[in-house]
Structure 1
Amino acid sequence: MSINSAMLAGVSGLVANSSALAAISDNIANVNTVGYKRTTANFSSLVTSNSKASTYSAGGLKAITHKYVRQEGNHMGTSSNLDLAISGSGFFVTTSKSEGNLPTDQRLFTRAGAFVIDDLGYLRNDAGLYLQGWIADNLTGEIVTDPSDLSQLSTINVSGTGGTAEATTRVAISANLSNQQEVATWGEDPDGDGVYTEFYDDTLRNQMAEWKATNGASGLEPDFEINIPVSDSQGSQRNITMGFMRTGNPNEWVVEVYGDPSVIDDGDANVGKIAAGTITFNPDGTIQVGDGSLDGLFPAAPAAPTISIGASSDTAGPGAPTWRTNLGISAQDIQIDLFTAPGGLTQFSSLSEAQNISANGTPFGVLADVQIDKQGYVTAIYENGTIRRLAQVAIATFSNPDALISMNGNAYQVSQESGTYTLKAPGAGGAGEIDPSTLEASTVDLSTEFTGLITTQRAYSAASKIITTADEMLEQLLNIKR
C-alpha cells in the first residue's frame, strides 16, 4: 500500500538523519582532537519495484557514513620536541603495549602525534598507543630500515640508554719547544771530568716518567711538559703527560708519554710510562719526517702518531702499558696530532709553551634532551655534549586510507578495502616527512558542522511530517467504515 510505504519512507528519513546528526555531533565533539578526521553521512535513495505502473511505492533512503581519513589537517606549532605531525601521506605505527610485541599482534595506525615519555622511557601518545620504529645498533649506531619485515619494528625507548661517555681517540697539539733550551746535564759529575753518573735511558729508571712518579725524588726532570686531558671508556677523566728533554744532537729532543702510576701499569718499572722515543726538527722549525724522527715514540708515525693503552684485563709489560686492573676499562688508542693541528709542534726561538691542546671524547653525562628530525631520526642529547641516534620512526602508507576502520584513541586498523600497509622511512617512497614540535589539527570546520545541524534538523522535521501526514490519511481511511 502506498500510504504504508510513505510512512516507512518517513521512518527511513528519521533513521538516516539521526545518523547524520550522530556524525555531526562526533565532529563537533572532536573539533580540538589532535589528528581527528571529519566524518560525514551521505544519503543514498532506495527504490522498490512497483506492482502496477499506476501505483508508486516509496523506497526511502539510507545513510552511509564516510570518514575523510586522507584529508590533512592544519599543522600547529608546539613547544614539545616530542609532538609530531606528518606532512603528507602516512600514519604512525603504534601498538597498545610497550613490550613483548609479536608480528602477529595488532598494529594500529594514527596521525595523533602528541607523544610523551612514559615511566619506562617509551614514547606513548595521549591515547596510550606506543610509537614503533627501527632501532639503532648499540655498537655502531647504524639503523637498518626493512619495509618488508614488520618484526624489525620495535617500540621506541629513549631513556633505556641511560648515561653515556665517549673515550678520547684523538688529541691535537699546538705547542712550541724553544730552540734556546740548553742541553740537559743529567746526574752528577763528582770528579769534575765531564763524566756524569746518570744518563737518560728509557729502559732503566733514569727517565722523566720516574721523576714525575716520584715527585722529583729520582729520575730526570723534563725541560718541558704538556698535559693532555683524556676520557677513558667509562667517561672518567684521566691525565696524560708528554715530557721533553733537549739532547746533544742538533734539533733533537727525547720525548716520553706517561701517566699516573696508579692509573697506568707499565710492568715492573711502575712509573706509568706509555711510550718513549725522539723527535727531530728541521732547520725551519717543523718536525722532521723520516730519518729516524719519532722512532720508538709512535709506531704508526708519521701518518697517524698513536699511543696505545691496553685494557685493564690485559697483561702489562715493557712497551705494553695497560690501564690498572682495578679500573676495569677498555683498551684505548689515542692519535696524537702533531702535524695538522693549527701550528702543530714546532721548535722556534721563543719560549716553550703549549698554545692549544684539544681532545675529543667526553666524560660521563646523563640524558638531557630528546629530539626528532624531519627524517624521523630520534636523537638523544646528553649533558656532556654527546649526541646519539637511537631510532627512526616508521611511516605506514595505504592505497585507500579512507577505507581504514576507526578504532578508539583516534586510530585505525586495516580493512580489506584499505589494502595492507607499506612501511617506509619518513620522506621516502611517497611517505610524508615528520614535522617536529608540531601537531596536526582536527579537520572539522565548525561553520560547516553548524550548517549541517540546521539542514539535518529541517530534514528530520520534514521526515516526521511524512509520518504524521500518512497517519492522518490512514485515520481517514479507517473512518470510512463509520
Structure 2
Amino acid sequence: MIRSLMAGVAGLKSQQIRMDVIANNIANVNTTSFKSGRVLFTELLSQNIRGNSTSQIGVNSINPAQVGLGVTVSAIDCLFGQGSLMATNRVLDLTVDGNGLFVLASFDPNDVQGGVVSDGAVPTKNFYTRDGAFYVNEAGYLVNSSGLYVLGNSQDIAPDLAAFDDTARAPIRLYDPTTHGLETIRITSDGGIWVTVYDDTGTRSSGYIGTIGLDNYPNPENLIKLGFNLLEVPVDDQNVPTSTGWGAPESGGRGKALSGNLEMSNVDLSTEFSNMIITQRGYQASARVITVSDDMLRELIDIKR
C-alpha cells in the first residue's frame, strides 16, 4: 500500500508537469514563432518481488514478479514544426519558410561607440530566433525588438548582389544616419537587402547593402529557450554556431526569407484541449489511487483496535 501511495504521488507530479506545459502552449497560441512543447513519461524502477528461476517440475522457467514504483517525466520536447504564416505587409517583418534560424548578437559596450559597432568586434554572445520582426536602430543597424544585432553579410551600397561569405558574421548596417537618410528597403527571398538612401543634397543612391544569414542548426530541439523568443546553444555544443549550417537563405537546405510575413505559433488548440482532458483524467485517477490506498491503510489500522 505504501508503494501504491508513492506511485499515486508520482502520477500527480508527472501529470501536473504535463498540465503546466499544456497551459504554456495555450498561453502562447498567438506568440510569434512560438514552438509548442510536449511531455513524455517513463516508468520508474520496478521492485522485484520474486526473481526468475527454473521450474523444478517442468521445463519452463518462472518469470520474475515485479511491482512498478510509478512514473516520471523523461523529456519535455520542443516541437519545431513550421507555424502558419501571417501577412503583415511590413518590409522588415521576415519569416523563414523552411529550415534555418536567424542569428542575433550582443556586443561589449566598449566595442560600440555612438551606436556604431567597431570593425572586427567579436560578439559577446550569439542567439537564435525564428521571430523575424526586425527594426532599424538609431545607428542604422538591423536589430530585433530587444536591440540585438541581426547577423549576416554587410557592405557599402553596390549595384549588384554579392556572393555570400560563409566565413563572415557581421551586424548588418543599412545606412549611416550621420550622412544619409533611408528612403526604401527591399528584401528578397534569398536574404538580399536592397536600399535607397539620400544625402543632404537630395542625391539618391540605390543598390545592394548586404544579406541576412540563416543557420541551419542540426538539432533545433536541443536549443535552450531563454524567453523573448530567443534560443541559446547548450554549453556543451557551443561550437555549432560556427558550423557549415551558416549561410544565405535558399541555399544549403535553408529556407526562404519572406519579407512582409511573420511565422505564428505552431500550437494546435484542438490537440492541446484533447491533451488537457487526458491529463486531467490521469491526474484524477492518480488522486483516486491515493484515496483508496489511504482507505486500505485505515482498514489495516482499524484491525488493531
Give yes or no for contact 1:134–1:144 (8 Å, CA) kept in 2.
no
- Give the helix-richer structure, 1 or 2: 2
Aligned match of 1:410 in 205, 224, 229?
229
Tell me: CA distance 1:86–1:472, structure 2 relative to 1, closer, same or farther (3 Å). same
* Counterpart amino acid of residue 292 in structure 2: T
Helix, strand or coil for the counterpart of 2:68?
coil
Can you list the C-alpha shifts for 1:95-136, whole angstroms capped at 9, x where unaligned? Answer: 245746854622111100011222332222234432111111
Instruction: Return the offset for 1:139.
Output: 7.5
- The answer on 1:394 being equivalent to 2:213 is yes
Aligned match of 1:62 in 72, 85, 98?
72
Superposition TM-score, scaled by structure 2 size: 0.81
Superposition TM-score, scaled by structure 1 size: 0.53
Instruction: Return the offset for 1:410.
Output: 1.5
Give yes or no for contact 1:367–1:381 (8 Å, CA) kept in 2.
yes
Can you list the C-alpha shifts for 1:260-284, whole angstroms capped at 9, x where unaligned? Answer: xxxxxxxxxxxxxxxxxxxxxxxxx
**Equivalent residue, structure 2, for 1:157:** 173
Can you list the C-alpha shifts for 1:394-450, whole angstroms capped at 9, x where unaligned? Answer: 110122222222222122122357982421111111111110111011001112112
Aligned match of 1:425 in 227, 230, 248?
248
For residues 90 and 161 of structure 1, the distance between their equivalents in structure 2, rounded to whole angstroms, comes to: 31
Give yes or no for contact 1:93–1:108 (8 Å, CA) kept in 2.
yes
Aligned match of 1:7 in 5, 10, 16?
5
**Equivalent residue, structure 1, for 2:60:** none
* Counterpart amino acid of residue 140 in structure 2: G
Tell me: CA distance 1:162–1:368, structure 2 relative to 1, closer, same or farther (3 Å). farther
**Equivalent residue, structure 1, for 2:194:** 379
**Equivalent residue, structure 2, for 1:438:** 261
**Equivalent residue, structure 2, for 1:463:** 286
- The answer on 1:115 being equivalent to 2:168 is no
* Counterpart amino acid of residue 297 in structure 2: L
Can you list the C-alpha shifts for 1:210-229, whole angstroms capped at 9, x where unaligned? Answer: xxxxxxxxxxxxxxxxxxxx
For residues 400 and 134 of structure 1, the distance between their equivalents in structure 2, rounded to whole angstroms, comes to: 24
* Counterpart amino acid of residue 160 in structure 1: D
**Equivalent residue, structure 2, for 1:278:** none
Over the matched positions of the two proteins, sequence identity in percent amounts to: 31
Note the 1:315-330 alignment, pairs <5 A: none
**Equivalent residue, structure 2, for 1:129:** 148
**Equivalent residue, structure 2, for 1:168:** none
Unaligned runs of 5+ in 2: 52-63
Tell me: CA distance 1:129–1:472, structure 2 relative to 1, closer, same or farther (3 Å). farther
Query: How many pairs align?
Result: 275
Give yes or no for contact 1:403–1:418 (8 Å, CA) kept in 2.
no
RMSD: 2.6
For residues 65 and 152 of structure 2, the distance between their equivalents in structure 1, rounded to whole angstroms, comes to: 64
Q: Bigger radius of gyration, 1 or 2? A: 1
* Counterpart amino acid of residue 158 in structure 1: L
Note the 1:36-75 alignment, pairs <5 A: 36-52=34-50, 56-63=66-73, 64-69=75-80, 71-75=81-85
